[in-house]
């Protein structure tokens, strides 16, 4: 015989929920909240693991730190700290020679003067540095005199034939002025003797 469960009715005719139904709904909500909390914890753990993996991969892919060595310039003799890669690059640019930054700029300027011949510019700069190291450091006065003589030689060679006539020496200037006077318009006779001669002739003439 089928048993009929009595359902509570309200005055408005709305069926009231049973206590069993309320308990099942609360349990479901509690289970869903616990599940979401557990999933959030798992997501956080996964994020932390991903961060650790990314950090580990970053540390493994960093390039190695290059060692710094003391390199001596083959021109001036100065030493500076350089990496092996920089030393190799400089040697490739300057025919296997290791030179410092100042000497490289001097070689560039010398190459611009001689038409871009870098080999000749490098040789000229190396010879100049060798002369300075042999003479300039031990005998600075002689090196200064040599530099002044070189300046005079260059200035005299850069002058033209017209500039050589006008020298700063008084003797040369006198000679140049006399040469200029000889080449210019000369006076054939002076008017001063004729002026002084007329009064003298008037005094010598007999009076009538």
Asked if residue 18 is part of any domain, the answer here is: no
Round to whole Å and give the CA distance between 79 and 71: 5
Asked if residue 118 is part of any domain, the answer here is: yes
Asked if residue 153 is part of any domain, the answer here is: yes
pLDDT digits (tens, 9 = 90+) for 39-89: 777 777 777 776 666 665 555 556 666 688 888 998 888 888 888 889 999
Tell me the CA distances in angstroms from 109 to 45, 51, 127, 128, one per residue in order.
64, 54, 16, 14
Asked if residue 93 is part of any domain, the answer here is: yes
Asked if residue 170 is part of any domain, the answer here is: no
Domain holding 93, by residue range, is: 69-161
pLDDT digits (tens, 9 = 90+) for 107-163: 999 888 888 888 888 888 888 888 877 766 666 666 677 778 778 887 887 665 555
Asked if residue 151 is part of any domain, the answer here is: yes
Asked if residue 23 is part of any domain, the answer here is: no
Domain count for the chain: 1
pLDDT the model gives residue 37: 77
Asked if residue 101 is part of any domain, the answer here is: yes
């Amino acid at each position: 015989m089928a048993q009929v469960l009595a359902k509570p009715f309200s005055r408005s005719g709305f069926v009231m929920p049973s206590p069993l139904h309320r308990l099942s709904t609360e349990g479901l909500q509690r289970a869903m909240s616990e599940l979401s909390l557990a999933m959030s914890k798992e997501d956080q753990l996964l994020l932390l693991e991903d961060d650790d993996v990314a950090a580990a991969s970053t540390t493994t892919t960093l390039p190695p730190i290059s060692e710094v060595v003391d390199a001596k310039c083959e021109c001036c003799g100065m030493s500076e700290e350089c990496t092996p890669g920089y030393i190799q690059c400089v040697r490739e640019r300057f025919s296997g020679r290791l030179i410092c930054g100042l000497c490289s700029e001097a070689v560039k300027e010398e190459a611009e003067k001689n038409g871009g011949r870098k080999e000749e510019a490098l040789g000229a700069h190396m010879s100049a540095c060798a002369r300075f190291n042999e003479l300039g450091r031990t005998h600075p006065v002689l090196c200064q005199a040599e530099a002044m003589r070189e300046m005079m030689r260059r200035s005299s060679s850069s002058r033209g034939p017209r500039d050589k006539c006008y020298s700063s020496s008084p003797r040369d200037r006198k000679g140049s002025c006399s040469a200029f006077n000889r080449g210019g318009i000369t006076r054939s006779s002076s008017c001063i003797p004729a002026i002084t001669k007329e009064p003298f002739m008037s005094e010598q003439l007999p009076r009538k």
